[in-house]
Structure 1
Amino acid sequence: MPKAATSRNTTQDPTVLATPEGKHAHDSFRQFCSQFVQKVGSSYDKGTITNIKVEKRDGKYVARYVNLDQNSVHLLVKTSGYDHTPFVGVLQYSEQLFEAEGDTAQAAKAGAFKMINSVTVRELFRYANKKWQF
């Protein structure tokens, strides 16, 4: 289960914490991102660790899944300069693709998975009407 983002991986514009609204936006962004990361991490269409996908490729079975690297999660909250959306939030994380091969689908799923790719993803959110928006 994904961990909540902690202060060690949160960055903000110093002016964000200078107001009560900014402090609320900062604190609520951590919770918002924790829920977002949990949702994203459990819904990859290429498979997850609990729902490994298998396909036949070049006469072999290839099992694959995507993992959202919890240690790569980083949050940034900053002011936007606009009254209608005073803050913007950036969520950054790495998606890692793992694969294993086998002579059968079951062998592939039970195989030794290796990370074959890692991609950095940045999600942008706006803070409007006192809450974070997709």
Structure 2
Amino acid sequence: MKLARKLLTSLFICLLLCATASASQPGTPQELAKFKNFAIGWVVKLNKSHIKGFSRMEILPQKDGSYLARYHAISPDTISCKVKRTSAKSKGMVGLLKYIETIYESTGKNPQEARANKFKPVKNIRITEIFSNSGKGWR
């Protein structure tokens, strides 16, 4: 129940931020540059800490006796950023970060071979994150 309440609260806040951002002015090139710098650092952190990232890849036995290695990664090349000022009287900003998370897989006769073989992208997931900045940095 607590999780459902947190999800609904988060969804409401996201909708509120989106509505506020859509009725506002775009940010300056300097504000966009600062947000892009933040976004790149954020994606680096996500790649390092991803529960299914390269350092924690899944190794799964298959029915035929082979092994499947799988991990998720975000390429910084897929990052897209937008910054808008909120319509609030304070100096509020909303930043939209879009990127693609790719799932990579490899197979082998044993776990070591699956981990060492060439990985191929098998699925792309488009993700949008919303951040706010009320003068104290991006959150």
Give the TM-score band, short-chain normalised: 0.7 to 0.9
Measure the CA separation in 1 of the matches of 2:57 and 2:26: 44
Amino acid at match of 2:103: L
Aligned with 1:57 (options 29, 39, 62)? 62
Aligned with 1:114 (options 117, 120, 129)? 120
| Cα offset, 1:15, TM superposition | 4.6
Q: Percent identity?
A: 26
1:88–1:125 Cα contact (<8 Å) kept: yes
Cα RMSD (Å) of the superposition? 2.2
Measure the CA separation in 2 of the matches of 1:52 and 1:15: 39
Aligned with 1:66 (options 72, 84, 87)? 72
Amino acid at match of 2:44: Q
More strand by share: 1
1:85–1:126 Cα contact (<8 Å) kept: no
Measure the CA separation in 1 of the matches of 2:26 and 2:83: 10
**1:104 aligned to 2:110?**
yes
**1:88 aligned to 2:77?**
no
State the TM-score, normalized to the length of structure 2: 0.71
| Cα offset, 1:56, TM superposition | 1.5
State the TM-score, normalized to the length of structure 1: 0.74
| Structure 2 match to 1:16 | 27
| Structure 2 unaligned residues grouped into runs of 5+ | 1-23
Cα deviations across residues 55-74 of structure 1 (Å, max 9, x unaligned)?
22323211111121221111
Measure the CA separation in 2 of the matches of 1:63 and 1:86: 44
1:75–1:90 Cα contact (<8 Å) kept: yes
Measure the CA separation in 1 of the matches of 2:37 and 2:102: 23
Q: Which moved more, 1:77-86 or 1:110-119?
A: 77-86
SS at match of 2:46: helix
SS at match of 2:35: helix
